[in-house]
Structure 1
Amino acid sequence: MQDVYNVTGRGVTIAVLDSGVDATHPDLELGTKTVENVKIVGDLDLAGGRNAFIEGVPNSDTSSGHGTHVAGTVGGTGVVSANDERRAYYHAGIAPDSSLVGLGAGEGVSILYALLGFDYAIANQERLDIDIITNSWGGGDGAEFDPNNPINKASFEAYKRGMVVSFAASNSGPEENTLNQYAIAPWVINVAAGTSDKTLADFSSRGVAGTQYKQPDITAPGQNITSTRAPNTAIGAMGPVVDPEHPEYFAYYHTISGTSMATPFVAGVAALLLEVNPQLSPDQIEQILMETADPMDYAPHEVGAGYINVKSAVERAEEVRGNRVEFLSGIPPGQVRAPGPR
């Protein structure tokens, strides 16, 4: 979008709730790009529930690498890949001028302190100007929606405060009824993964035909996604970039797949919409993404509204400026008696 509209996510802050962010990476530099980087340390109630939020950490993603890849997709500057005029900022994120808040809530492949991450984002929303929380993790694929689940309550609280919350649909496809239990909450954006030719990735989780609340909302690029690499980590060792013209890319970027990669793309597009129209509510953003999506030759419970169309979404956001709609799907979790339509 930078080439067409000069829309880059300026003035928007995205919290990356994941394994952490390696803000020593030049594309994710602490203090300029990553405005806060938090390592969440908890005891899982083994020692009386003592938890700590360690702020200003240069690298909060020391064992996984997952969160660093996610952070680069949503808002990496691409500065390392700017050494060739023909491919300037080749590996920049979708919203390269956005600000990031890293929330290191896990180790290895486990997100252990997700609820604490939401607590931090909510408590520090105003101080850090957090607009969006992106979540590329989950569990309980295929489980029924529980409005009283603590994670669902937390995501609702964030949504109620005006934050856009995106969640990965999960990678348990092509079997049906395999959606991430946290992604099917009506107040979050449920993201499926597509390929570069705008087909559905085989691994992307599916919902249930004829069950409206059990379906993704939108499909976004999630296969073979190149983004920032945290070296010497479990996921950082996967999928290296091999570029004969730029062998140095191996040290800074790698290529992996998953709905985890599609979800920050959607969060980045939400940042673009908020740049052109800061008054948009979470519901309006979701509605715009779905209404402007490109149709796909799949059922709604597989791909939702279709494949994300960034250009059309940005144009629509400008069109609806000033027509704010408040929380159309906002039903307090404690008052939801049964799963309802999205």
Structure 2
Amino acid sequence: MRRRGELSLGTVPGGFRMRATMKRLMIVTLSCGMLLGCQGDPNPNLDPSAQAFPALNGASGLRRAQLLHYLREANETLDSKTSSEMSDHFSYRDAKGNRIRYGEAPATSEVWALSDLELDKIPGTSTERAFREFPMRTPEKPIIVAVIDGGVDIHHEDLAGVIWTNEAEERGTPGRDNDGNGYVGDVHGWNFLGAADGRNLEANSLEVTREVARMRRLAESRELSESERAYLEKLEASFEAQSGMARRTLDKLRVQLKELDSALVVLRQAGLGSESIPALDAIPAGDELLEQARALARRYLERGVTTAVLNQKISWLQKEVEPHFDLNFNASDLIGDDPARMDDIGYGNSNVHVDADHGTHVAGIIAAIRENGIGINGQSAFVRIMPLRVVPNGDERDKDVGNAIRYAVDNGARVVNMSFGKSYSPNREYVYDAIRYARQKGVLLVHAAGNSGVDIDLEDSFPRRPEGEPVDNWIEVAASTKYFDASLVASFSNYGQKSVDLFAPGMGILSSTPGNAYQSYDGTSMASPEVAGVAALLLSQYPRLTPRQVRAILMRTVRGNVPELVEAPGTGILTDFAKLSVSGGIVNAYEALKTAALLFSSK
């Protein structure tokens, strides 16, 4: 699901080893302050290695010995890590604790999600097999799939031909609400995070931050009840944990930058021309100091981690994460909506291209143009993507989620994909009302289960279907991998025998990203659109199906002959796969279409 920072290869939970990190942070501090004479902030105009080690040229034997000791320590620390710890070392955390790997390029072997277990020996969705073996009919009308997410690159080469167009607005008078739906100029969807003057909200606070601020204000105005005090204590603890994680992540990245810099300054003295493996290998063998530097730099460069990458991540975290924990931040100050009114119609603007990495990736999974000789194949060939921007860098507002669902329903969507989530939802009833509205109008909602590796039967995760109600237009999706063994379930995926309906491919998923690019992401954010796309394909061939019927078919036709025991997310303990979801299986387009064909042929 959407956890901001899913930049190159996605999200996996787990913590880095703070004891070792803080030890190395102390070493770097000592190295800079005592060994190298650094003072104050680094000069942005200097090479980073020159900032860290300005006195290496002509350095005394003592200084060289201390630098050699530092490089040895760094290499020995990395040598002591398990493969899992090493993977975690070369990652960073977003504000919600999701682990993001950086610097790795997607491989063509990662185009696996639409594969078939019997034919390809890969547990994908069997969509390519379905297209080969079933005669696909072009429906009278394409199936509109709303993507409630960040923005979408509507001009992407693999998506431009499948973007929904509001013809009344396209043909109408600019600056007017030509179709009378309350949204001016919504030609290709709507941006609920925009201002009327064209500005756009990119970063927002987390819901826990907003709730801490609200409850503190309430405590100042009156005495809290016992339950309110308990809630505020829970909020405060969560707020401190998450803000502390952000600070530790920045510390970790700064340690890594200093560590890589320390190796590069030695290597540049030996003739290193660029931060690359070929340049590293071109340096002749040298003394232990040089070889320790070479070994340390190789660990980074082999993973695509350069000083530029690390500086970029540090800059991003400093700029983008700060609003997450700003207790005074109010998104409505920019957007211009009335924060006290949930059903506030018409706020926002028509720019759906803002902050479009995640949403473009999701849209491509569903609808990338098939067999056009470029990019990837989407799950369905007969859809239109309706972009609805609701998710900022931070937490989405309940108000925007509810209004986006209603917009999708009122403007013709048959399926809605929602790859986002959070742990607190103070206005959840407004979202529940929108879910009920979608059910009444015959619209299917598909939602990502989340990336925290927890049982959401026991942990709060929002949005979710209203409890105790027959909500048969909702599908909750967890993430699977391409490995047909005990590691079938993605280690980061949430699960739940009552709350999660089924699994779908969600690890190493190649799809479209802005600027006619393609990248591989991990996350239940990727699994959810796999299911939304299969649902849209099913509806394109059998448009009379109701959401209840689509859900029932997808649930009954999951691939069930999977390894009986799999590693449970979060713990790695071998667990019965059937106990991790309601259906106990992985979505299967081929079997779903076969079942639907039998159903309609019998009538």
TM-score normalized by structure 1? Answer: 0.73
Q: Distance in 2 between matches of 1:153 and 1:7?
A: 36
Structure 1: which amino acid aligns with 2:417?
T
Match of 2:189 in 1: 37
Q: Distance in 2 between the 1:268 and 1:48 partners? A: 33
- What's the counterpart of residue 290 of structure 1? 555
Distance 2:364 2:521 in 1: 12
Which amino acid in the other structure matches residue 77 of structure 1? I
Is the deviation greater in 70-79 or in 33-42?
Answer: 33-42
Offset, 1:309: 1.4
Structure 2: state its 5+ residue gaps: 1-129, 166-187, 196-329, 339-343, 565-575
What is the percent sequence identity of the aligned residues?
A: 27
Q: 2:434 aligns with which of 154, 157, 175?
A: 154
- The yes-or-no answer on 1:172 pairing with 2:452 is yes
The alpha carbon displacement at 1:114 in A equals 1.8
Partner amino acid, structure 1, of 2:404: G
Code of the residue aligned with 2:447 in structure 1: it is F
Tell me which of 11, 28, 46 is aligned to 2:159: 28
Q: Give 1:193-204 correspondences, 5 Å limit.
A: 193-198=479-484, 199-204=488-493
Asked which structure has the greater CA Rg, the reply is: 2
Cα distance per residue 1:122-172 (max 9 Å; x no partner): 3323xxxx111111011128x9xx996221221221122001110111111
Cα pair distance change 1:183/1:223, threshold 3 Å: farther
1:8 deviation in Å? 8.1
Counterpart mapping for 1:1-342 below 5 A: 1-7=130-136, 10=139, 11-29=142-160, 32-35=162-165, 36-40=188-192, 41=194, 45-46=332-333, 47=336, 49=338, 51-55=346-350, 57=351, 60-77=352-369, 82-83=372-373, 91-112=376-397, 113-125=400-412, 130-140=413-423, 149-174=429-454, 177-178=458-459, 180-185=461-466, 186-187=471-472, 188-198=474-484, 199-207=488-496, 214-230=498-514, 252-295=517-560, 296=562, 297=564, 298-305=576-583, 306-321=585-600
CA contact (8 A) 1:23 1:34 kept: no
Equivalence for 2:217: none
CA distance in 2, matches of 1:179, 1:76: 33
* Per-residue deviation, 1:196: 1.4
Root mean square deviation, CA, Å = 2.9
Q: Could you say what secondary structure the match of 1:115 adopts?
A: helix
Distance 1:64 1:19 in 2: 6
1:219 and 1:307 in contact (8 A); partners too: yes
Rounded to whole Å, the distance in 2 between the matches of 1:102 and 1:133 is: 10
Higher strand fraction: Structure 1 or Structure 2?
1
Distance 1:109 1:181, change over 3 A: closer
| Counterpart contact for 1:216–1:300, Cα < 8 Å | no
Q: Contact 2:382/2:540 (CA < 8 Å) preserved in 1?
A: no
Note the C-alpha offset of 1:303.
3.3
User: Secondary structure at the residue paired with 2:146?
Assistant: strand
CA 1:6/1:253 → structure 2, altered by over 3 Å: closer, same or farther? Answer: farther
Mapped contact 2:419–2:447 kept (Cα < 8 A): yes
Following the alignment from structure 1 to structure 2, what is the Cα–Cα distance between the partners of residues 53 and 8?
38
TM-score (normalised: structure 2): 0.43
Larger mean Cα displacement after TM superposition, 261-270 or 289-298? 289-298
- CA distance in 1 between counterparts of 2:477 and 2:460 reads 10
Residue 97 of structure 1 deviates from its aligned partner by 2.8
Q: Provide the residue aligned with 1:336 in structure 2.
A: none
In the other structure, the counterpart of 1:240 is none
Q: Is the 8 A contact 1:279 1:322 kept in 2?
A: no
Question: How big is the shift at 1:21?
Answer: 1.0
Report the Cα distance in structure 2 between the residues aligned to 1:184 and 1:193, rounded to whole angstroms: 19
CA distance in 2, matches of 1:23, 1:62: 11
Which moved further from structure 2: 18-27 or 40-49?
40-49
Answer yes or no: is the 8 Å Cα contact 1:147–1:153 preserved in 2.
no
Taking the aligned partners of 1:285 and 1:173, their CA distance within structure 2 comes to: 28
Match of 1:170, SS state, is coil
Secondary structure in 2 matching 1:268 = helix
Larger mean Cα displacement after TM superposition, 39-48 or 301-310: 39-48
One-letter identity of the residue aligned with 2:388 = L
Can you give the 5+ residue segments of structure 1 that lack an aligned partner in the other structure? Answer: 84-88, 232-250, 325-342
- Asked if structure 2 preserves the Cα contact closer than 8 Å seen for 1:170 and 1:178, the reply is no
C-alpha distance in structure 1 between counterparts of 2:448 and 2:544, whole Å:
25
